[in-house]
């Protein structure tokens, strides 16, 4: 069962005044109840990665990487996926301001759970590379403590990671949202090329990768698109340990409404089990291990 770390809301708007306060209630009694800094201090802390805007966190098993994981959702994302199920993480508006040390400490409290299950930390979002300085420092602190680390990323900002940063990441969950520029742009409003470049780099470095592909009827499930994605991933078959084909679901619809954004997929129904299985077969036909 997920343990939900969603807490109070910090809105980083000028009307908040001089001082910005990190809300920490509900974060297991730790974190930064006393984190109160001026706006210029906050900008500097964000630049150095001393402080990050953490949307929420949860403990999960059998998703977001191996074993039991603490998945931390960081605010901010450059993509605008039509099927996003966490649209409230897209903008740098909601979340809890927390210091990198306090978040690392919270992760380390679960060390015995991670050891027993082969789990660890997964940074997700939003896009975990959006707040790159915070992500970089958190990954190093946790990885240096001997805990397995993973990022769940679209790869769009992969160039922000140095090779040294990648040394602190044990596994990359790489979301390949479509297989050609036009479809990728229609689905995400961004370009595909950076994801391919990042995937090529991970392949050269022999970094373990789990690819994720979401089947969205009428948007990503055409035979051509699925084959294009499979061809791209097949190039990385040496380091891609598995492909996870995930059916689109409508569970994010309420969040789109809550934040006042138009939700384009209101009338899209989830794909049938047969069509998801068909997509899995396309990946299997390239010799990939598929779930």
Q: Give the footprint of ligand SF4 on this chain (CB under 6 A).
A: 77, 79-81, 84, 86, 89-90, 125-127, 154
The nearer residue to ligand SF4, 35 or 90, going by C-beta atoms, is 90
CB of 270 to ligand SF4, least distance (A): 16
Hey, what are 17's tokens?
A: 């005044």
Q: Is 194 exposed, middle or buried (0-12, 13-18, 19+ CB in 10 A)?
A: middle
The nearer residue to ligand SF4, 74 or 232, going by C-beta atoms, is 74
Hey, what are 127's tokens?
A: 């896009």
CB of 89 to ligand SF4, least distance (A): 6
CB of 213 to ligand SF4, least distance (A): 12
Whether the Cβ atoms of residue 128 and residue 53 lie closer than 8 Å to each other: no
The nearer residue to ligand SF4, 20 or 74, going by C-beta atoms, is 74
Q: CA-CA distance, 11 to 214, in Å (whole number)?
A: 31
Could you check whether the bond before residue 126 is cis, i.e. omega within 30 degrees of 0?
yes
The nearer residue to ligand SF4, 90 or 121, going by C-beta atoms, is 90
CB of 124 to ligand SF4, least distance (A): 8
CB of 58 to ligand SF4, least distance (A): 15
The nearer residue to ligand SF4, 90 or 141, going by C-beta atoms, is 90
Beta bridge partners of 151: 123, 172
Question: What kind and span of H or E run contains 197?
Answer: helix 193-204
Q: CA-CA distance, 192 to 189, in Å (whole number)?
A: 10
């Amino acid at each position: 069962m997920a343990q939900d770390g969603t807490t109070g809301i910090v809105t980083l708007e000028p009307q908040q005044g001089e001082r910005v306060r990190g809300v920490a209630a509900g974060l297991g009694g730790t974190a930064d109840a006393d984190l109160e800094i001026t706006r210029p201090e906050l900008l500097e802390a964000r630049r150095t990665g001393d402080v990050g805007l953490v949307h929420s966190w949860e403990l999960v098993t059998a998703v977001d990487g191996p074993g039991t994981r603490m998945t931390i959702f960081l605010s901010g994302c450059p993509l605008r996926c039509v099927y996003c199920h966490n649209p409230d993480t897209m903008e740098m508006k909601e979340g809890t301001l927390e210091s990198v040390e306090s978040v690392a400490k919270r992760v380390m409290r679960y060390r015995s759970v991670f050891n027993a299950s082969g789990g660890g930390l997964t940074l997700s979002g939003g896009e975990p590379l959006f707040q790159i300085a915070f992500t970089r420092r958190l990954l190093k602190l946790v990885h240096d403590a001997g805990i397995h680390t993973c990022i769940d990323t679209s790869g769009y900002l992969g160039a922000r990671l140095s090779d040294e940063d990648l040394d602190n990441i044990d596994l990359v969950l790489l979301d390949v949202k479509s297989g050609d520029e036009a479809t990728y742009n229609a689905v995400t409003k961004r370009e595909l090329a950076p994801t391919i470049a990042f995937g090529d780099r991970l392949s050269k470095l022999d970094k373990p990768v789990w690819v994720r592909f979401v089947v969205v009827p009428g948007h990503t499930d055409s035979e051509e698109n699925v084959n294009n994605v499979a061809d791209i991933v097949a190039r990385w078959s040496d380091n891609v340990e598995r492909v996870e084909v995930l059916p689109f679901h409508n569970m994010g619809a309420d969040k789109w409404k809550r934040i006042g954004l138009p939700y384009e997929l209101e009338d899209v129904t989830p794909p049938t089990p047969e069509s998801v299985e068909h997509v899995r077969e396309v990946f299997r036909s390239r010799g990939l291990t598929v779930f």
